[in-house]
Chains A and B, each alone.
Chain A
């Protein structure tokens, strides 16, 4: 680490002009993946993190997706909490729940569908350490305040340290969704609030006795769950949902929903979270738990349409800073995209450095590889979804959850009428809500791309 190598003087005045091959802004998943990739291939990157350690400032829901990370590091040594053995999707009306649960046996076997709950405070620090062990230099408690330009080229960064300018041939902007540096350098415009979700999250502990999590969530060993909740009972009439993830001996509970809705509903994210936790389907899972951490963050969810240009003369943008998050209600993935983009960005810089080039065209292979990867392909696949859901919001979040809950209880009603009558009435209940065959067909057509 820088501090050990250069002593306290380094903290006062880093002054590492051109000592490093690249500067990575932010030691989150994207930044550390980029630094690790470069260090593995012989470059000396500097990783600059504003928190007192990597991960100290980071909040996410709970599941780290590891298909690429697993190739970069030895995950057996990583601080993982549980693997995800069950995915459950619940539709909540005001006081009903209709759920489907998926528990493929395969998920119990390595690599566990590449889905693990983690604490970012622990995982990000460990992951950044892997980059340091490979040869990267990490400096913490240092905020990058802007880029240094010469002509049209980015040639370094300004930091909040005294005399804190640092120059290097390449800058990787891995600063997350609140990307003040990229915006300040006019590499992207601030997201409009329609393209941002706000999230509030708690980590809860069960002080009463051990084994509560295993009992409540029906878990054995390291298995864990990912529960997602939609509909009126989760986050009111807003676009978004609630979630519960199990860690080793805590659970993470949160809500994430459109910032536009949150602002206009005049119900704070904290209140929305409280209501979600008190829903009759959710409260029994959390009974007796104590909050040990409360956090909040925004999520960029503009998708493919709001991705900025990823490559510039001397700089690339990766991870959340580039808007690489898939958040469509069914999937909430950003960790895999952050690592994938960091990996491709790092690779592109290594190749450009071998040819002694820094201009955008020499770094273009980063955005080309990303375009061909699941990252951009998945974002494009769902580009249409958000607008459509927005148009159908009342139907999808309010009317349908209620209709389906009513229909299920009708279908299983215990009385002396024949089953056929109940089945008919149940079907009718859903059909009325959808506007009959015509409405149902129309809706199916509108969303057919989801299963294509």
Chain B
């Protein structure tokens, strides 16, 4: 049963647009990394770090290998840390207050 075919179009911003709405100050060294690269490359088929990340920080070319990490975009949500089935995400807080700043939260 279909009731409402004419839902108004909702404009969902692209990830690039969205990340303008958060501020990343002077990130310094990456606070994210993989602990053991070979685990990503050899053992991990699903790369849950990639599918869980709400900010497209983790990417994996052709669905294999070691993911690249665009850490400047990180929202510090910690999802990747909890999601990796191999406990292979090295995660710390960006130093001295750097990183995302929310006005509203």
Does chain A bind chain B?
yes
Say whether B77 contacts A198, CB under 8 Å. Answer: yes
Which of A56, A122, A291 contacts B17 (CB under 8 A)?
A291
Say whether A180 contacts B92, CB under 8 Å. Answer: yes
Asked if A52 is at the interface of the complex by the 8 Å CB criterion, the answer is yes
- In Å, the complex CA distance between A447 and B27 comes to 48
Give residues of chain A (232-272) contacting chain B, Cβ–Cβ below 8 Å: 247, 250, 252, 259, 262-270
Asked if A143 is at the interface of the complex by the 8 Å CB criterion, the answer is yes
Say whether B93 contacts A119, CB under 8 Å. Answer: no
A280-288, A328-336, A361-369, A380-388 - interface stretch: A280-288
Asked if B12 is at the interface of the complex by the 8 Å CB criterion, the answer is yes
Say whether B54 contacts A277, CB under 8 Å. Answer: no
Say whether B22 contacts A143, CB under 8 Å. Answer: no
Say whether, besides A268-B51, A294-B18, A120 and B102 are in contact (CB < 8 Å).
yes
Say whether, besides A57-B100, A120-B105, A267-B51, A291 and B82 are in contact (CB < 8 Å).
no
Say whether A121 contacts B1, CB under 8 Å. Answer: no
B2-10, B34-42, B64-72 - interface stretch: B2-10
Asked if A351 is at the interface of the complex by the 8 Å CB criterion, the answer is no
Which of B2, B22, B25, B101 contacts A294 (CB under 8 A)?
B22
Say whether, besides A57-B76, A58-B102, A143-B96, A293 and B21 are in contact (CB < 8 Å).
yes
- In Å, the complex CA distance between A145 and B31 comes to 13
Nearest CB on B from A249, distance (A): 11
Say whether B51 contacts A293, CB under 8 Å. Answer: no
Interface size for chain A: under 10, 10 to 19, 20 to 34, or 35 or more residues? Answer: 35 or more
Asked if A88 is at the interface of the complex by the 8 Å CB criterion, the answer is no
- In Å, the complex CA distance between A178 and B99 comes to 15
Give residues of chain A (291-343) contacting chain B, Cβ–Cβ below 8 Å: 291-298
- In Å, the complex CA distance between A267 and B51 comes to 6
Nearest CB on B from A452, distance (A): 33
Asked if A409 is at the interface of the complex by the 8 Å CB criterion, the answer is yes
Nearest CB on B from A350, distance (A): 30
By secondary structure, the A interface counts as mixed
By secondary structure, the B interface counts as loop
**Residues from chain A with Cβ under 8 Å of B101 in the complex:** 51-52, 56-57
- In Å, the complex CA distance between A119 and B96 comes to 23
Say whether, besides A287-B8, A298-B78, A160 and B96 are in contact (CB < 8 Å).
yes
Nearest CB on B from A49, distance (A): 8
Asked if A177 is at the interface of the complex by the 8 Å CB criterion, the answer is yes
**Residues from chain B with Cβ under 8 Å of A252 in the complex:** 104
Say whether A263 contacts B52, CB under 8 Å. Answer: yes
Give residues of chain B (16-60) contacting chain A, Cβ–Cβ below 8 Å: 17-19, 21-22, 25, 46, 48, 51-56
Nearest CB on B from A124, distance (A): 8
Asked if A405 is at the interface of the complex by the 8 Å CB criterion, the answer is yes
Nearest CB on B from A334, distance (A): 13
Asked if A15 is at the interface of the complex by the 8 Å CB criterion, the answer is no
Asked if B62 is at the interface of the complex by the 8 Å CB criterion, the answer is no
A37-45, A106-114, A165-173, A188-196 - interface stretch: A188-196
**Residues from chain A with Cβ under 8 Å of B93 in the complex:** 50, 143, 180
Asked if A393 is at the interface of the complex by the 8 Å CB criterion, the answer is no
Say whether A51 contacts B77, CB under 8 Å. Answer: no
Nearest CB on B from A107, distance (A): 24
Asked if A401 is at the interface of the complex by the 8 Å CB criterion, the answer is no
Asked if A127 is at the interface of the complex by the 8 Å CB criterion, the answer is no
Say whether, besides A198-B77, A268-B51, A293-B21, A55 and B105 are in contact (CB < 8 Å).
yes
Nearest CB on B from A446, distance (A): 28
Say whether A143 contacts B95, CB under 8 Å. Answer: yes
Nearest CB on B from A400, distance (A): 15
Asked if A153 is at the interface of the complex by the 8 Å CB criterion, the answer is no
Asked if A101 is at the interface of the complex by the 8 Å CB criterion, the answer is no
Say whether A283 contacts B17, CB under 8 Å. Answer: no
**Residues from chain A with Cβ under 8 Å of B96 in the complex:** 141-143, 160-161
Asked if A33 is at the interface of the complex by the 8 Å CB criterion, the answer is no
Q: List 24 A-B contacts (CB under 8 A).
A: A50-B97, A57-B99, A58-B105, A59-B105, A120-B102, A121-B103, A140-B97, A161-B96, A196-B79, A198-B77, A199-B77, A203-B104, A259-B83, A262-B52, A263-B51, A268-B51, A280-B5, A280-B7, A291-B18, A293-B21, A294-B19, A295-B100, A295-B105, A298-B79
**Residue ranges of A at the interface with B (Cβ–Cβ < 8 Å):** 50-52, 55-60, 95-96, 119-122, 124, 140-143, 145, 160-161, 177-178, 180, 190-191, 193, 196, 198-200, 203, 247, 250, 252, 259, 262-270, 274, 277-281, 283-284, 286-287, 291-298, 405-406, 409
For the complex with contacts A96-B1, A295-B75, A296-B55, 19 further pairs of A-B residues with Cβ separation under 8 Å are A58-B102, A160-B95, A180-B91, A180-B92, A190-B81, A259-B83, A263-B83, A264-B46, A266-B51, A268-B51, A268-B53, A274-B10, A281-B4, A283-B8, A283-B10, A291-B18, A293-B103, A295-B22, A296-B79
Q: Which 10 residue pairs are nearest across A and B when measured between Cβ atoms?
A: A141-B97, A120-B105, A280-B4, A280-B7, A296-B77, A296-B54, A178-B78, A263-B48, A269-B54, A294-B18
